[in-house]
Amino acid sequence: MSAFRSHPAALVAAGLGRWFLSTIAMLLGASLVVFGMQAIVPGDPALSLLQAGGGPLPSPEQIAAKRREIGIDRPFLTRYVDWLGDVVHGDFGRSWTKPADVADLIGPRLGTTIGLAIAAIIIAIALTATSGVFAALRPDSLTDRLARMVVVVMIAIPSFVIGLLVLQFVVVDLGLGQVLATTSLSGALIPALILGAVMAAGWSRPFRAIMRDTTTAPQMVVARARGMSRTKATLRIALPAGLLEFMPFIGLAVGGALGATMLIEVVFSWPGAAAYAVEAARRRDMPVIQAFTLVSVTMFRLSTDLLAAARWSLDPRVRIHEGTPS
Amino acid sequence: MIFAVRRRAAAIEVGRRRAHRGIVALVLLILVLPMLVPHDPVAQDLHNALQAPSLHHLAGTDQYGRDLAARMADGARRTLTMSLIVVAIASLGGVAVGLVSAALPRLGRAVLNRTVDIALGIPALIVALAIVGALGPGQRNLVLALILGVWPWYARLARDHATSVERLPFVQAARVGGIGHLRIWAVHVAPHVVRRLLVVAALDVGYTVVAFAGMSYLSLGAAPPTPELGVILREGQDYITDAPWLLWMPALAVVAIVLPFVLTGERLHERGVIA
């Protein structure tokens, strides 16, 4: 039995099985929370939707019709089970405020949000790696200190404030409004750069700590003893090991990135799903908010777990010391 | 050796106190600032709209001729007070959940931990967005939404810290000495966790200011004409060509509030007070 258990394939299968079950449980829990928000909506959503555009007080018949239209005339649990069944099939219901399916409203915009987040993460990794290498090569040098100062200031300036200031600088001071058009390459790059820089600032401290530790690791000592230059050893040996160790942080940061994306999309008027969800929240369009929240939770979960799994398969140290990921 | 350790402990203690002093001074300053500005933050004066900063209007005026300095002072106080409320309630609640889960027997512990894990699976700002969407935009709803968004972090931190304290020699010594589970928890573990989390919570006020202003900027929090830093930034954005100070000034104000928290956090990290 124990021989069978320690077989790599069995370990992976068991790990995958456990992961699958816990992910399902997690998503079910999250969906209940997300859908449960409908239950805490104060007052009658049908009434507030009908009155959103101003106008006269709607008649009881109108309210009843609206309640039927958005489906809140049925008991909560029935609604939840129906909704869940539809969601499994990719149907997130109809918007409360627009005559369209939620999937058609959110779906096409999702690519923009995911693209922005991925571009930002790649930029952030590049920036973090660079500053980490500098910290490992020349700790407490002028560059290192300067980098640390920039990081502290970057953490203190919220991403949307940076966005606004860049917007002002580019549009007003340089008079280059067209540079920020969402269709142009620079228009896509600038928001991603801002998001990436802010994320990198947050990552800087943990990554620098990891890199400092790797410089004194045995494999570095051996490489140096055998004549590898300090720079080369740092780039070829310490950096890959450090990045591997850093992978879980990247997965966790996706959660924060989703929130920051929301703000950056609105600042730069991007036609993304996050900006649309913000708009929906202002109109209290619950189906849209539910869909966006559920999609975000799934993306967050997938990215953390994929990175953990990738690290597990790439980094033998984890396999030996920590066993299968759960 | 022992002296070196003691000296280091003393240095950390002094550092901690000094760090607190800076933040406390900042908070007090922001709380009294609105009384020092001689203008009404919501009084309109359309004849003097969009005036550049001058001696009379230190930060200029906005599109309705309202004094920006007064609005910023009032807005900074509002944003900071709301953030303090968010952090206070969320950290108290979260730490309570985390500590209780550490005290419970295995099954209860597992149930609470699972709940916290699910809550942690939804990014904080997304939770806030969903709750504001359900309750409707507004200052009070935003405070509630942010509390619900961040409490699980404190629960997780408190639980993790409690588990690591439980492994420390003095707790094990107490266990060997025959002291009961609950008593160890209340006398030895809980105070440790609370003290550590207090520092974390104090530093989080800065990030909460960012989150609160950000959500208000998205028109999901305080509504105009209420002076609030995010709202002021949102309004200023429409005038970036004609009145750039409407953006620069509140941006500086946000940074001035957040920077001391970040700097203090950085110093405490360097000294090893917090991980």
pLDDT at B1: 46
- Could you tell me if A294 and B161 are in contact, meaning their C-beta atoms sit under 8 angstroms apart? no
Q: Which residue has the higher pLDDT, B58 or A161?
A: A161
- B136, pLDDT greater than 60: yes
All residues of chain B having their beta carbon less than 8 Å from the beta carbon of residue A155 are 262
- Please state, as a whole number, how many other Cβ atoms lie within 10 Å of the Cβ of residue B102: 22
Cis peptide before A316 (omega within 30 of 0): no
Judged by DSSP in three states, B219 sits in coil
- Residue B241 to residue A280, Cβ atoms within 8 A: no
The vertex-B126 CA angle with B224 and B111, nearest 5°, equals 135
pLDDT at B41: 83
A235's CB contacts (< 8 A; 6+ apart) are A133
Q: pLDDT of B54-111, one tens digit each?
A: 777 777 787 787 888 889 999 999 999 999 999 999 999 999 999 999 888 889 888 8
B132, with CB counted inside 10 A (0-12, 13-18, 19+), is buried
pLDDT score of B31: 86
Confidence (pLDDT) at A1: 43
Between A48 and B75, the higher pLDDT residue: B75
pLDDT band, very low/low/confident/very high, at A177 (cuts 50, 70, 90) = low
Which of B18 and A151 is assigned the larger pLDDT? A151
- For chain A, percent of residues with pLDDT exceeding 70: 92
**Over the stretch A61-114, which tens digit does the pLDDT of each residue have?**
888 888 887 777 788 888 888 888 888 888 888 888 888 888 888 988 998 889
Reported as a single tens digit per residue, the pLDDT across A187-232 is 778 889 999 999 999 898 889 888 888 878 888 889 989 998 988 9
For the residues of A98-164, what is the DSSP string, one character each?
SSSBHHHHHHHHHHHHHHHHHHHHHHHHHHHHHHHHHHHHSTTSHHHHHHHHHHHHHHHS-HHHHHH
Residue of B115, B116, B118, B203 to mutate when probing chain A, most A C-beta within 10 A: B118
Q: What tokens appear for B227 in the block?
A: 């002076």
Residue B22 confidence class, pLDDT cut points 50, 70, 90: confident
Number of CB atoms found within 10 A of residue B52's CB: 12
Closest CA to B221 of B102, B84, B129, B104: B129
How far out from the chain centre does Cα A123 lie? 14
pLDDT for B246 equals 87
The confidence band for B140, taking pLDDT boundaries of 50, 70 and 90, is: very high
Query: For residue B206, is pLDDT > 80?
Result: yes
Distance from CA of B127 to the nearest CA of A (A): 8
A277-322 confidence digits (pLDDT tens): 999 999 888 899 999 999 999 999 999 888 888 888 888 877 776 6
Residue of chain B minimizing CA distance to A280? B133
CA distance A184 to chain B (A): 22
Give the model's pLDDT for residue B97: 94
Of B114, B126, B214, the CB nearest to A263: B214
User: Cβ of A296 and B123 within 8 Å?
Assistant: yes
Instruction: Give A124's pLDDT tier (boundaries 50, 70, 90).
Output: very high
Higher pLDDT, A179 or B186: B186
Q: B61 by DSSP, 3-state: which?
A: strand
**A158 contacts B254? CB cut-off 8 A:** yes
Record: contact B254-A37, CB cut-off 8 A: no
Rounded Cα–Cα distance for residues B243 and B239 (Å): 5
Average pLDDT taken over every residue of chain A: 84
Find the residue in B nearest to A289 (Cα): B130
> Would you call B123 and A164 a contact, using CB atoms and an 8 Å cutoff?
no
Residue % of chain A over a pLDDT of 90 = 17
The distance of B243 to chain A (nearest Cα, Å) reads 11
The per-residue pLDDT for A53 is: 65
Give the model's confidence band at A326: pLDDT under 50 very low, under 70 low, under 90 confident, else very high: very low
- Distance, CA of B195 to CA of B190 (rounded, Å): 9
State the smallest CA–CA distance between residue A90 and chain B in angstroms.
Answer: 20
Percent of chain B with pLDDT over 70: 93
**ipTM of the complex in this document:** 0.86
